[in-house]
Amino acid sequence: MIQQRIRKLNNPDILENENNQIYRTCFDILMEAFPKENFTSKQIRDIVITMLLTASESISIAMNFVIFMLANFPKVQEKVLEELLEIYGTETIKSVPIKYDDLQKMHYLDRVIKETMRIFPVIPIIGRQAKEDLKIGEVILPKGTNIFIPIIKMHRNEKYWPNPLMFDPDRFLPERIKSQSYYYIAFSDGPRNCIGMKYAMMSMKVILATLARTFVFKVNKSVKIDEIKLKFSLTISTEKPLKVKLEKRYFQ
């Protein structure tokens, strides 16, 4: 694809037609920057592969936990459905396509996703390097120090999150999150935070709103969050699969 695009870049007639297209992908934008920024083919390839893998894998991991939380906490699932009924009504709730404006009204679903990612951050640990001497309390980290930030420890710290292993989406109500926003970094933070954050939230809302209108999520037995044993690598996973039953949802 990169070599084909390079040939097109060298053909003014083809390039002029393509510049008139309304929708441009990330790949198009990267290739436009190819001659200006002195990118190599390998750099372009690595960026595209990174975006594809991180977007697909991270969303699927987060979805796995969110669906289990909905199944594990039926009252939360019911509140999600109530919100969807307010948006779509009962007669056409399954058939109406989800639009961008609808996503802006899914406030409770948004909080459910965020609370799930607080307890189960997809990327549990991130790394940074100090660009200058950094003083934290009485300690000075010299320039060049590699720093590891355990997001999952911060998200489960009772100093910042009372009763941290209780699943409570209302922690993310606007009036409550103000004092805790510094301690929630599910998508990292700063200049190198997740570039796909908005895309990920939109995708998860679309998928979850579609599934929740079609199915009821259930578990054979409720599981306490502290009973869910985790494994860590670059991403988070569970030692045992989280099993959920799907039943077709009916509306009277």
**Three-class SS state of 8:** helix
DSSP run (H or E) holding 237: strand 236-238
Report the alpha-carbon distance of residue 154 to residue 156 in Å, rounded. Answer: 5
3-state secondary structure 154-207: HHCCCCCCCCCCCCCHHHHCHHHHCCCHHHCCECECHHHCCCCHHHHHHHHHHH
**End-to-end CA distance of the chain, in Å?**
51
For 36, the 3-state DSSP assignment is coil
Is 194 one of the annotated binding-site residues?
Answer: yes
Other Cβ atoms less than 10 A from the Cβ of 105: the count is 13
Task: Name the 3-class secondary structure at 136.
Answer: strand
Please check whether residue 14 is in contact with residue 31, taking contact to mean a CB–CB distance below 8 angstroms: no
- From residue 2, alpha-carbon distances to 30, 32, 50 in Å are 10, 11, 15
Give the span between the Cα atoms of 187 and 185, in whole angstroms.
Answer: 5
Annotated binding residues for heme, as ranges? 194
Q: Which residues are annotated as a binding site?
A: 194
